[in-house]
A = this chain, B = another copy of it.
């Protein structure tokens, strides 16, 4: 008969699974989804291919989990800044964009994998959800700004989607990650563009 796993065993399993996910994330950030074969991931995690399939039913499921964890972190960080930051809606929006951009520029491989890389088919749905969540957090700030008369009347959902796409596109294009002054310039322009996009008045003044 089947015995319940002891806590110690459960912990060990969970730890191994965690490590597997982390290693897989590194591999993907390094070589992209296309080249992240199960064999390569297993090797990076120091385990056999068979063991990988003890943690995940398929390569796609592992990919989804890798994607979910990485993207959840980003959405969470952004959401905190947008919701709990200080200042009015425009200031929080600008701050959120800066944080998002800086994080992406620091981990370009991961950002590219999350935002734009040709991906496992299984990631289609996960990516959609990721974007929905980004929209949700942006939608809230935009709505707030409109309610406060800070932004003009607009469909907050559309603006939120636009911000999501715009920021992703700007950050991902130069596969060559800009550094130093170039990065600062990019972030500054991105913040200005986001404010204009929402219709913050300062945008047209300067």
Residues of A at under 8 Å CB distance from B?
32-35, 116-121, 123-124, 127-128, 131-132, 135, 152-155, 158-159, 161-170, 173, 175, 185-186, 189-190, 192-193, 196-199, 201, 203-206
Contact = CB atoms under 8 A, between A and B. Distances in A.
A174 to B, nearest CB: 9
Most buried by B among A34, A167, A173: A173
Given A164-B169, A204-B201, A118 B124 contact: yes
A125 to B, nearest CB: 10
Please give the count of copies of this chain that the complex contains.
Answer: 2
Given A131-B173, A152-B203, A168-B169, A158 B117 contact: no
Contacts of A116: 127
Contacts of A119: 118-119
Contact of A162 (B117, B127, B153, B170): B170
Contact of A161 (B159, B169, B196): B169
A186 B155 CA distance: 9
Minimum-distance CB pairs A-B, first 8 = A165-B169, A34-B121, A162-B166, A165-B165, A166-B166, A158-B189, A155-B189, A197-B197
B169 A131 contact: yes
Contacts of A204: 152, 199, 201, 203-204
Contacts of A132: 173
Given A166-B197, A168-B169, A197-B197, A189 B154 contact: yes
